[in-house]
Copies of this chain bind each other. A is one copy, B any other.
Amino acid sequence: MSGNSFGTLFSVTTFGESHGPAIGCVIDGCPPGMELSEADIQPDLDRRKPGTSRHVTQRQEADTVKILSGVYEGRTTGTPIALLIQNEDQRSKDYGNIAETFRPGHADYTYWHKYGIRDPRGGGRSSARLTAPVVGAGAVAKKWLKQQYGTEVHGFMSQLGDIVVPFQSFEHVHANPFFAATADADLLSRMEEAMDELRRAGDSIGARIEVVASKVPVGLGQPIYDKLDADIAYAMMGINAVKGVEIGAGFASVAQRGSEHGDELTPHGFLSNHAGGVLGGISTGQDVTVSIAIKPTSSIRTPRRSIDKQGNPQMVETFGRHDPCVGIRATPIAEAMLALVLIDHALMHRAQCGDVRVDTPRIA
């Protein structure tokens, strides 16, 4: 509970600050015998890394991951897998002017009050840069889930500010800079224009991301307090800038009737998925569907009122290199978090009930 580990049986402990020498994590509990190399991990890191389009921060980081332990002759040994990523582009001078002042919407104020000290270089520990090691750990989890059960986790952006982006197909997600699941050129143009306008205005915008896990085994999740959906909510709300989480029908459930919401079953499967793949905290075997709200980036060039450590009023403008929409790079992060929740519950389920029988007669 010291705040830097995620998961119980497949646990990830991260370390590092935005402008320190390196960031990384220790993955404890990865089952032995799985083929693993950096090549399994780097692609997800590349999807998250900065500088891939003009719509994200221009900070240059290769985010090259190195495995320090836990793999022998190309296979996991059951011992901890340490991942290390060197920080390269540490232009700390960019941030010098904010060491004494609390940026609105940032963790500056709370870290300083909590700890009495804070590392102001690039947001220090509170920087979204710290999601990189987790994306690495998520790639390891994804590989195991895929091999073991065929489970896959995919995300996409479904809303950018007030632009709703209907889902067409996962195949489009990597053909545009927004992780939008659409090939609608007009819509994509509107998104590009909105981002360009924001950048000129020195402002930022929120986003909505959806994540879907398919071929999830039936039976993952614990009753009462380690419900699968509760752990998903925890994982998602813990991502920087997330302010809301929905499972299945989410807030739309409020206005639904029971005769509409409750998913009927037939011998051929469920007839709907308002539950989002979770009933009573336990997976149904349907797709697990999650939606998250990401607030607009707090680092903006628009001058804003704040105070300094002494309580004096100050105006704050944040220069430097920032994402005008942190939601854009959130898709691989949300996928990683969902994969980490699923593998933890898969291992837990195996502990309690023995090997998951993937050949269980399933309805979908």
Contact = CB atoms under 8 A, between A and B. Distances in A.
A105 interface: yes
A247 B244 contact: yes
Nearest to A239: B230
B26 A258 contact: no
Given A13-B5, A246-B293, A33 B116 contact: yes
- Report, nearest first, the 8 A-B pairs whose CB atoms are least far apart: A107-B280, A3-B222, A105-B262, A204-B258, A234-B234, A110-B282, A233-B237, A230-B238
Contacts of A262: 103-106, 296, 298, 300, 304
B77 A124 contact: yes
A352 B29 contact: yes
B32 A116 contact: yes
Interface stretch (A38-46, A50-58, A170-178, A353-361): A353-361
A24 B82 contact: yes
A254 B294 contact: yes
6 contacts: A2-B9, A32-B115, A79-B124, A110-B221, A113-B360, A256-B295
Interface string A118-138: 110000111000100000000
Contact of A253 (B113, B206, B250, B284): B206
Contacts of A150: none
A109 interface: yes
A105 B9 contact: no
A196 interface: no
A151 interface: no
A105 B263 contact: yes
Nearest to A222: B3
Interface in A40-85: 66, 68-70, 72, 75-82
B296 A256 contact: yes
A200 to B, nearest CB: 13
A28 B5 contact: yes
A243 B234 contact: no
A179 B15 CA distance: 35
Given A80-B14, A282-B114, A223 B254 contact: no
Interface in A307-364: 307, 311-313, 344, 347-355, 360-361, 363
Find the residue from A9, A29, A262, A347 having the highest chain B CB count within 10 A: A262
A257 interface: yes
A226 interface: yes
Contacts of A233: 233-234, 236-237, 245
Contacts of A350: 350-351, 354
Given A80-B15, A106-B280, A262-B300, A249 B295 contact: yes
A166 interface: no
A331 to B, nearest CB: 14
Nearest to A16: B69
Nearest to A225: B6
A243 B28 contact: no
A182 interface: no
A276 interface: yes
Interface in A254-285: 254-267, 271, 274-276, 278-285
